[in-house]
Structure 1
Amino acid sequence: MAMVDNVLSRVPEPMRGALIKHRELLKFAIVGATTFVIDNGVWYLLKLTVLEDKPTTAKAMGIIVAMICNYVLNREWSFRTRGGRERSHEAALFFIFSGLALLINLATFAFSRYVLDLRVPDVSRLTQELADFGFGSVIGMLLATAFRYWAFKKWVFPDELDGHRAEEVRG
């Protein structure tokens, strides 16, 4: 039994039907949660050590590492019943749209830091870190994720493979 089917079998019936109907979105969300942890882990590791004076660069590097993991997980799991393009074309589109999403994410972080001046010495270290996380990881991530989901379904992984292949890879 596939992992998603195993999880769905444990969900109460009223909710199970909705989750099965939106299985692809559920997988996309699981991949997103995984790469959210990767992004923030790399970001905080860099921003609290070697890139302490360059938090925006640290955030960009965290997003880029997460982006690479995101491509592999979405290609091989979330959207594996979609495609039809050559992998190089698909990967190029993925990274173009992910690059745009990166700019969306960094814009919210930069707005917090450099427009609202939510940084030391203007605010306490705790306020700065809460603002960084709120703007850079929550608001930015939500906006970028909504954009990526739309772009991936429409442009990167646009069409279903034939029904036989979709049954083979279901799960």
Structure 2
Amino acid sequence: MPSPTQRALARVPDRLRPFLVRHRRLVKFLLVGSGCFVLTMVINLELKFTVLQHKPVVALTVATVIATVVSYVLNRRWAFRSGGRQREVLLFFLVSAVAIGVNDVPLVISRYVLDLREPFVSPFAQEAADFLSGMVVGTFVAMLFRFWAMQRWVFTRLADRPGAEPALVRTTAPEPGYAAPEMPRDVP
């Protein structure tokens, strides 16, 4: 039986399929990131309009930390398919801590350097500036940093490390009648 990924690929137009297969790690990373973006946004807004009303940076940080834990589990099990080594866990949370800081910087600049907050601007302008700086700009820059750092340091396969011998790649024959290209599995 084809995997969920193979079933999804079978529905993709033929001309896009090779691109998605070639960049499958990035596609999976973006799907995990999209889900975690929505989770961060919901938690951030809930905190910001309730218990952390006057602390928008803290609300964004708490929301990002929660989404980071979810992101770790999903990236490790699906996007990068890696074992749970202690080194990996430590590096993931170290990279994520830096990324949380990267994510917060645009909001801090918007609020406290550019003074895009009440009483200097309207409540609507403040919320729009917070969303654009923290959720859009901050998340985008942190996402770029995370993908680069995760692929480089955290979810590296032994075969990808400098000086390692090439690993054998396991492949399986496609199911009869299956038209999508075969996706090689990563060997840990």
Normalising to structure 1: TM-score of the pair?
0.90
Distance across 2 between alignment mates of 1:159 and 1:87: 12
Range with greater deviation from structure 2 (65-74 or 12-21): 12-21
| Aligned-residue offset at 1:145 | 0.6
Which residue matches 1:45? 46
- Paired-residue identity, %: 41
Measure the CA separation in 2 of the matches of 1:102 and 1:44: 17
- Give the superposed CA RMSD: 2.0
Shift of 1:10: 1.3
Q: CA deviation at 1:88?
A: 1.6
- The Cα of 1:160 is off from its aligned counterpart by 5.6
Moved over 6 A (4+): none
Look up the match of 2:105: 107
CA distance in 1: counterparts of 2:185 and 2:14, whole angstroms:
25
Provide the C-alpha distance between the structure 2 equivalents of 1:158 and 1:42, rounded to a whole number of angstroms.
31
1:120 matched residue in structure 2: 118
* Residue of structure 2 in register with 1:152 after alignment: 150
Q: Would the alpha carbon gap of residues 160 and 77 (structure 1) be closer, same or farther in structure 2, given more than 3 Å must change?
A: farther
Structure 2: how far apart are the matches of 1:79 and 1:160?
A: 13
Give, in angstroms, the shift of residue 168 of structure 1: 6.1
Pick closer, same or farther for the CA change 1:30–1:160 going to 2, 3 Å: farther
Cα deviation 1:41-68 (Å, max 9, x = unaligned): 1111101000001111111000000000
Structure 1 portions without partners, runs of 5+: none
Deviations 1:88-107 (A, max 9, x none): 21111000000000000000
| Partner of residue 4, structure 1 | 5
Structure 2: gaps spanning 5 or more residues = 160-166, 172-182
The alignment of Structure 1 onto Structure 2 pairs a total of residues equal to 167
Q: 1:168 to 1:159 in 2, by over 3 A?
A: closer
**Corresponding position of 1:74:** 75
Give the match for residue 143 of structure 1. 141
Match runs of 1:10-49 below 5 Å:
10-49=11-50
Per-residue deviation, 1:167: 5.4
Instruction: Specify the alignment match of 2:55 in structure 1.
Output: 54
Aligned residue in 1 for 2:90: 92
Distance 1:117 1:38 in 2: 27
Q: State the AA in 1 paired with 2:105.
A: A
TM-score, length basis structure 2: 0.82
SS at match of 2:15: helix
Task: Give per-residue Cα distances to partners, 1:65-118, cap 9 Å, x unaligned.
Answer: 0000000000000000x46xx622111100000000000000011111111111
